[in-house]
Amino acid sequence: MGITRLLQDHGIEYAAEGHPHCTDGWVNIHCPFCTGSRDYHLGINIQQPATSHCWRCGGRRTSAVLSRVLNKPEAYTKHLLKQYAGTAGIIRKREEPRIRIYPTRFPHPYAGINKFGKMYLTGRKYNPAKIERIWKVKQTGPVSFLDQISYSNRLIIPIYWNGKMVSFQTRDITGKSDRKYLACPMQRETLHHKNILYSKQQRWCKYNALIVVEGVFDVWRLGPCSVATFGTSFKMEQVLELAKAHERFFIIFDNEKQAQEQARKLSIKLKALGKTVFIEKIESDPGDMEQDDADHLVKTLQRRSF
């Protein structure tokens, strides 16, 4: 019968393929563990529905999600999931296939940052010339596609790993798109971006500590001593890459409850690997800071690392 039928039969609101917040092969529901806007953040894989993933608060057992949504014991929802999904509803460790079908490339056409991109970046207190020069950012115009996906009016943010571009992320500059961020299609990623980190990898050894943040704009503000996990949710692959990169870390995530809980979990995992970790709270998102304030914060944290 499948997970979609389960949601239908039990009156659970969901978004399916074609909805701007839903990836092909997934159904999305409002996360029952998150506070704030109800934006279908929690995805359930149609083929492997035993586990779910919320893009704000991380991975969950689908049985636990259904237990919270339906207000039923988890033993009941485990049986319900098995009834509808069969053996696919049983959690088992598996390796996700990583097959890159097509070469990694940008949406077409694209060019350098134009006046609209410059206005957007200036409005967010960034220096467009510096962003373009240091971070190799490009931009699309009103019409730009890759694999029949529209990437119109977006900044293109290349993601490098070991000196090679392996993926990209894009950011809407119009304020009108339902999806602020839109990533490279998975079949074109050399490495999945959630298995790696965003920053100037070759410069990490120059700093007394690395500052772990959520997104690319935070890295642009704090500079190459910072690394982004592409959201507050993180994968163990990213934890291991951090552990290989440095011995000391400051974690700066948003002040909301879910983000701080993710910061705590990341801190625990890094400490278990023998690292020194501090969680720092600031008044605003790092990306929204004045540049002078951000520079002062970085200097202060690096001095504290001795």
85-100, pLDDT tens digit by residue? 886 666 554 444 445 5
CA–CA distances in Å: residue 33 to residues 8, 41, 257, 263: 21, 10, 11, 16
Please state, in angstroms and as integers, the Cα–Cα distance from residue 125 to each residue in 170, 213, 217, 292, 295, following that order: 19, 18, 11, 11, 14
Give pLDDT, residue 95. Answer: 46
Q: What is the pLDDT of residues 157-182, one digit of tens each?
A: 999 999 999 999 999 999 999 889 99
Determine the Cα–Cα distance for residues 172 and 139; give it in Å rounded to an integer.
Answer: 10
Quick one: CA torsion of 255, 257, 260, 262, rounded to 10 degrees?
Answer: -140
pLDDT for residue 102: 85
Q: What is the pLDDT of residue 97?
A: 47
Element at 82 (helix H, strand E): helix 74-85
Q: 238, 198, 237, 245: which is closest to 218 by C-alpha?
A: 198
Q: Rounded distance, CA 57 to CA 40, Å? A: 12
| Alpha carbon distance 90, 301 (integer Å) | 45
Of residues 194, 172, 189, the one with CA closest to residue 181: 172
Global confidence as pTM: 0.71
* Contact yes or no for 245/283 (Cβ under 8 A): no
How far is 240 from 189, CA to CA, in rounded Å? 20
Are 9 and 18 in contact by the 8 Å Cβ rule? The answer is no
Q: Which residues of the chain have pLDDT under 50?
A: 93-98
- Domains of the chain, first to last: 3-89 (3.90.580), 115-195 (3.90.980.10), 201-304 (3.40.1360.10)
What mean pLDDT is reported for the chain?
A: 89
- pLDDT at res. 139: 98
Alpha carbons 150 and 108: distance in angstroms, whole number: 10
Q: In 3D, which of 67, 53, 153, 52 has the Cα closest to residue 111?
A: 153
pLDDT value at residue 61: 87
